[in-house]
Structure 1
Amino acid sequence: MLTVTLLYNIVPILIMIGVVVFTRHKALPICLLLIVYLAAFAITYFKLPSKNMLSIIWGNLAYGIIYAVATYFLMTITKEERLRIKLIVKVVSITIAVLAVVSLGGFLHSFLSVKPTWNSIDKVYSKSNKAPTFKRGETPIALAPKTVINRVRKASSDIPHSQYYSISDQVQAQFFRNKPVYVVPVEYSGFWQMMKASSIPGYFIIDATKQNATPQFIKKPYKFATSAYFNKDAARQIYRHSTSWLDLGSPQLEIDNNGKPYWVQTLYKSEFLSHRVNYRKLHVAVMNAQSGTVKIYSIKNMPKFIDEGITTAIANKLNIDFGKYKYGFWNFSQTGVMKPTGNGVEDGVTSVFNRDGSISYFTDFTTDKTGSDSALGYSMINARTGRLTFYRANNIMDSDGAKNNANQDYKAQQWKANMPILYNVNSRPTWVMTILDSTSAIRGYYYLDAADQSVYGTGSTPTSALDAFRQALVNSGAKIGNTDKATMKSVKGVVDRVAVVSNQNKVMFTLKNSKTIYTVNTSDFDFANLMRPNDKVSFKANIVAKKSIGNVAEFKDDNLR
């Protein structure tokens, strides 16, 4: 902190030396410098200003003007001193003018010369049919972060002396002992609570893929947190121990395989006299939340337990720069410009658990034209390496359009679609969404064909929703790549179980000695609402090979004749 403040006050120090040398005043200029320095130190300590050279120049410009003006008005000088001090005035004026020109030039350079930033992004282009696939029996992220926060807050009574603490809004996706989990930090409720508590007793962890998972409070006390004050503030501690590095965004909490908490923050070095980011030179600060020890690693050499060395803030900036600056700043026709929709749960990105044990950030891109809801493609950023894979897409709706379509089906219940993620289901780009009620409780899952909003499937579990969606694909006659062949069969049997899904105008049932789940559209066969177990039925059904789903046609219930 002292070093950074000193760098911000080089010009005031030089002015003070000149005043002391050329005037009879000694104590006053030194006292004024001390006041300016202390004020600058307070600003540095609490605001954590950038250590970029341009920012330091701007700081010298501001503090230099303040010190010069204060000295001019508070000092009394003789005619002889006035003649001598003209040299100081001239030097100060030239210095301030040079700093202003350099600062303006650096700012314009940062703003106008952005193609090198785009070139520094580690990026790969791919076709939409090579995008991540989704198979039956696999589970997407079952818990939306809103749901996680809601459940953790209900479990906050597990925290000892819970009146001193609050639940963070930060939900950290991570693989813990090879299992996908969410980690939720506990924070101090305020300054006086921190002084009373002295440390945070632990954090919460919850299974990310179990629909009915309950949060567990892990007793691993830590003193450093983003809600702490003074030297216990996690961001300030990292700032103090990374003097030549710049940060973007807040630290995120991750845990190692023993459950020990660490604060992780992505760092970068901007170019000289520029605010541009070089994504090839990202590093990671890892701070032990218990001891405050800070270590800095390159992206390639950071500890294995860190899943999101690229924090959400950096990922969001990556997406913005990738979509905006392919053809540089002087692209007045806006050729190739894409805008991330920002429908993520944090910093415009959504964390996705991959099959290989890694985590990616998902974001879809749309055109900058007002009112458009078409997606141009989407990115998956590897949260550990920073590599951005962009999947091109044509004639599909963006995440805003997908959520709006899903919300239309739940107007009466006032449920909302959350966390739209685009998967490749049977070679079809498909929006997978979680449906939440007003309390953030999960009400079901919604699969929507990204190219045809009339094709969708819903269910109370990911698997049932996927089966319903695949059946809808078969019924629509959509061109699909890896859906098993469906055949129309005549079926007779005795009803075993029945479920009426009133809000979707359908009845689902099974037959005795059969594992196939049949679906009847009650808009076509309204009497199916009256079907009961042990009824004798006959019908035709589109049955998908190797799948336990069948869509019913020409339905008859012998017991209702």
Structure 2
Amino acid sequence: MFLFWGMVNYFALPTLGWGYHGVFFEIFLTLVVAVVVRNIVEYEWHPVAWIAVSFALLWLVLGIASSEMCNSYRYQQMIDVEEVSYENFAEDINVIPVDRMVVADYDLACKVAEDKLEEDPGLGSRCDVGRMTLQNLTGSFVINNGVKLEFNNDLIWVAPLEHSGFWRWVKLDVTPGYVIVYANDPTKRYLVTEINGESLKMKYLESGCFSDDIERHIRTNGYLSSGLTEHNFEIDPNGRPYWVLCNYEPTIGIFGGNDSKGVITVDIQSGDVKQYAPDETPLWIDHIQPEHFVNNQLRCWGMYKTGWWNGSFIGEDVVVPTPGMVLVYSEGESYWYTGVSASKLEGNTATSGFVLINARTKEAKYYKVSGVNEMEAKRIAEDQNFAKAAQYHATSPVLYNVKGMPTYFMTFKGSSGNVTGYAFVAVTNRQAVGVGTSKKEAESNYLKSLRRTGNDSITDGPVIAVEVMTYTVRDITLEGTTYYVLFNEVKGKEFTGSSEFFRELKWTKPNDKVNVSYSEGSSQVVLLDSFDNLNFEF
């Protein structure tokens, strides 16, 4: 029996702590095996069977007592959601330049990483690219061939090199590094096999076997009774690779209300295991709150405001998160984003607002404003002539602050899986859409669409200057119907306007004197509010 128990623990790796189903399952399984053995030996129903049945009933009762049905109020209170004004969005989420927006989604990042690995045929036959993680990183380190990588709140996809099979693990024991793909520019990709002159030896992996399996390594190093979930591969500011796992515990009844109580990190090379409380977690770790925990807590917050019966059957004053969550980044902070709908009906495309949840602290804000959900924004983008004619498909939308407006940003992909274009769709206005073959063109078309549909007061954060200024044109370029203008008096910024609104742009040339006004913010591309060429009059 002890041998059987040991094998179950070694291979199944259940959580052996009070409040986790693993320990109950092991006790029940032991009783069942005892009943079967007794029945085979003695050919009769043994009293141990009644113990097994009683234990199963106890397990069921404890599960029901921990359920949402019996604890709807406590589940509803697991996350504190602050309702804030829609105008607060521009203050909470900063504007970023379009060239820093995420272009590579998970699938494209995997494809690019695999292409990079295949550049080394010998390595590509021994290793596979593991699961990729999107990470915000600030730091610098030197990799193989003396290449120095510097990051300043850059979004990157990172993945370990995994063993391609059991016999590869037996022969090699370790893999030689990991892959980096820039999320905003997938042409920038690196196979990292050295850090500051030290060769990488990745030992504790998902593809590792026996004691090299990452979860088994953690369990056998003092965490048999700890709840563990969502292990992600991340690198620290010095390029050192780690596994990061959420450490959680039940908080309602015996089994219910799983909530994060911090993280556990594992040095992939040395196997060193460390546990951190939320307020002690290193800043390079993006999220402490797993997506499935946050999503479930937000669902309970919206459903059980007036109890379980109303939330489950009547549906009065019930709001639910829209399918799927995405990570949103702003100034080094990561947030879980989801729309919120007043209806649980499938096919509902409208939202009554959206929620941003800090992925480290679980601070949540509900911006109550009607709009479209992520799937509808994707459909709107794909319905544009640019994408429809070529049968391009849009990637999952990512939320950004574009000139103070909450905006979905997507890339278009062709049949090859490569990026073929870009799209912007306003969360609060399904008519405001911009697409193009470049991010700059798509943004310009989007801003024109915003103006055309009544958003005349779009800004790029706090207004610094709105008075009329007299400048000299240094250069002017046309893309489609959008003009990009450089002025001698303003360095580091380009100004954009459409001949649809300012006809004089068609005849403007370098050295012309012009009067312009604009709302200046942090973006390097500034939208013109007015344009008057002083060299001629209509």
Q: In structure 2, how many angstroms separate the alpha carbons of the residues matched to 1:404 and 1:509?
A: 29
Q: Which residue of 1 aligns with 2:65?
A: 109
Q: Which residue of 2 aligns with 1:22?
A: none
Letter in 2 for 1:179: N
Offset of residue 273 of structure 1: 6.1
Q: Which residue of 2 aligns with 1:303?
A: 282
Q: Which residue of 1 aligns with 2:36?
A: 69
Within the candidate set 217, 230, 254, 2:210 is matched to 230
Q: In structure 1, how many angstroms separate the alpha carbons of the residues matched to 2:356 and 2:481?
A: 38
Within the candidate set 425, 448, 453, 1:448 is matched to 425
Deviations 1:519-561 (A, max 9, x none): 457xxx9xxxxx9x999xxxxx9986667657999xxxxxxxx
Q: In structure 1, how many angstroms separate the alpha carbons of the residues matched to 2:374 and 2:88?
A: 19
User: Given that residues 417 and 433 in structure 1 are in contact (C-alpha distance below 8 angstroms), is that contact kept between their aligned partners in structure 2?
Assistant: yes
Q: Which residue of 1 aligns with 2:536?
A: none
Structure-2 change in CA distance of 1:444 and 1:267 (3 Å): same
The question of 1:100 aligning with 2:56 is answered yes
Q: In structure 2, how many angstroms separate the alpha carbons of the residues matched to 1:117 and 1:511?
A: 55
1:282 partner SS: strand
2:429 partner SS: coil
Q: In structure 2, how many angstroms separate the alpha carbons of the residues matched to 1:41 and 1:189?
A: 28
Q: Which residue of 1 aligns with 2:168?
A: 193
TM-score by length of 1: 0.74
Deviations 1:309-350 (A, max 9, x none): 3344444444444444444533332244443333xxxxx432
Structure-2 change in CA distance of 1:100 and 1:461 (3 Å): same
Letter in 1 for 2:271: G
Q: In structure 1, how many angstroms separate the alpha carbons of the residues matched to 2:484 and 2:62?
A: 71
Residues 388-403 of structure 1 mapped to structure 2, 5 A cutoff: 388-403=363-378
Q: Which residue of 2 aligns with 1:467?
A: 444
Letter in 2 for 1:422: L
Offset of residue 398 of structure 1: 0.6
Q: In structure 1, how many angstroms separate the alpha carbons of the residues matched to 2:193 and 2:306?
A: 49
Offset of residue 365 of structure 1: 2.8
Structure-2 change in CA distance of 1:328 and 1:155 (3 Å): farther
Q: In structure 1, how many angstroms separate the alpha carbons of the residues matched to 2:335 and 2:423?
A: 21
Q: In structure 2, how many angstroms separate the alpha carbons of the residues matched to 1:201 and 1:318?
A: 40
Residues 137-536 of structure 1 mapped to structure 2, 5 A cutoff: 137=97, 139-158=100-119, 161-177=123-139, 178-180=152-154, 181-210=156-185, 212-219=187-194, 220-240=200-220, 241-249=222-230, 251-271=231-251, 274-279=254-259, 282-331=261-310, 332-342=313-323, 348-355=324-331, 357-366=332-341, 367-385=343-361, 387-409=362-384, 410-478=387-455, 480=457, 482=459, 497-499=477-479, 506-509=480-483, 517=496, 519=498
2:108 partner SS: helix
Q: In structure 2, how many angstroms separate the alpha carbons of the residues matched to 1:104 and 1:472?
A: 57
User: Given that residues 179 and 189 in structure 2 are in contact (C-alpha distance below 8 angstroms), is that contact kept between their aligned partners in structure 1?
Assistant: no
Q: For structure 1, which segment, 460-469 or 406-415, has the greater mean C-alpha deviation from structure 2 after superposition? A: 460-469
| Structure whose residues are more often helix by fraction | 1
Q: In structure 2, how many angstroms separate the alpha carbons of the residues matched to 1:383 and 1:512?
A: 40
What is the root-mean-square deviation in Å for CA atoms of aligned residues?
4.1
Q: In structure 2, how many angstroms separate the alpha carbons of the residues matched to 1:313 and 1:203?
A: 27
Offset of residue 223 of structure 1: 0.5
Offset of residue 283 of structure 1: 2.5
User: Given that residues 95 and 401 in structure 2 are in contact (C-alpha distance below 8 angstroms), is that contact kept between their aligned partners in structure 1?
Assistant: no
1:248 partner SS: strand
Deviations 1:10-66 (A, max 9, x none): xxxxxxxxxxxxxxxxxxxxxxxx3xx433433332222343455423432333133
Q: Which residue of 2 aligns with 1:29?
A: none
Q: Which residue of 1 aligns with 2:197?
A: none
Offset of residue 197 of structure 1: 2.0
User: Given that residues 128 and 392 in structure 1 are in contact (C-alpha distance below 8 angstroms), is that contact kept between their aligned partners in structure 2?
Assistant: yes
Structure-2 change in CA distance of 1:135 and 1:256 (3 Å): closer
User: Given that residues 283 and 298 in structure 1 are in contact (C-alpha distance below 8 angstroms), is that contact kept between their aligned partners in structure 2?
Assistant: yes
Offset of residue 508 of structure 1: 4.0
Q: For structure 1, which segment, 143-152 or 311-320, has the greater mean C-alpha deviation from structure 2 after superposition? A: 311-320
Q: Which residue of 2 aligns with 1:135?
A: 95
User: Given that residues 129 and 424 in structure 1 are in contact (C-alpha distance below 8 angstroms), is that contact kept between their aligned partners in structure 2?
Assistant: no
Deviations 1:273-298 (A, max 9, x none): 6221353x612111111122222222
Offset of residue 261 of structure 1: 1.1
Letter in 1 for 2:113: V
Letter in 1 for 2:65: H
Q: Which residue of 2 aligns with 1:47?
A: 12
User: Given that residues 194 and 228 in structure 1 are in contact (C-alpha distance below 8 angstroms), is that contact kept between their aligned partners in structure 2?
Assistant: yes
Q: In structure 2, how many angstroms separate the alpha carbons of the residues matched to 1:262 and 1:64?
A: 40
User: Given that residues 133 and 425 in structure 1 are in contact (C-alpha distance below 8 angstroms), is that contact kept between their aligned partners in structure 2?
Assistant: no
2:390 partner SS: coil
Identical-residue share of aligned pairs (%)? 21
Deviations 1:500-535 (A, max 9, x none): xxxxxx5445689897555457xxx9xxxxx9x999
Which of 1 and 2 has greater Rg? 1
User: Given that residues 518 and 530 in structure 2 are in contact (C-alpha distance below 8 angstroms), is that contact kept between their aligned partners in structure 1?
Assistant: no
Count of residue pairs the alignment pairs up: 486
1:419 partner SS: coil
Offset of residue 156 of structure 1: 0.6
User: Given that residues 84 and 368 in structure 2 are in contact (C-alpha distance below 8 angstroms), is that contact kept between their aligned partners in structure 1?
Assistant: no
Residues 12-31 of structure 1 mapped to structure 2, 5 A cutoff: none
Letter in 2 for 1:98: S
User: Given that residues 283 and 299 in structure 1 are in contact (C-alpha distance below 8 angstroms), is that contact kept between their aligned partners in structure 2?
Assistant: yes
User: Given that residues 177 and 201 in structure 2 are in contact (C-alpha distance below 8 angstroms), is that contact kept between their aligned partners in structure 1?
Assistant: yes
Letter in 1 for 2:95: K
Deviations 1:225-279 (A, max 9, x none): 1122222111222233312211233x11111222111111112122586221353
Q: In structure 2, how many angstroms separate the alpha carbons of the residues matched to 1:99 and 1:393?
A: 47
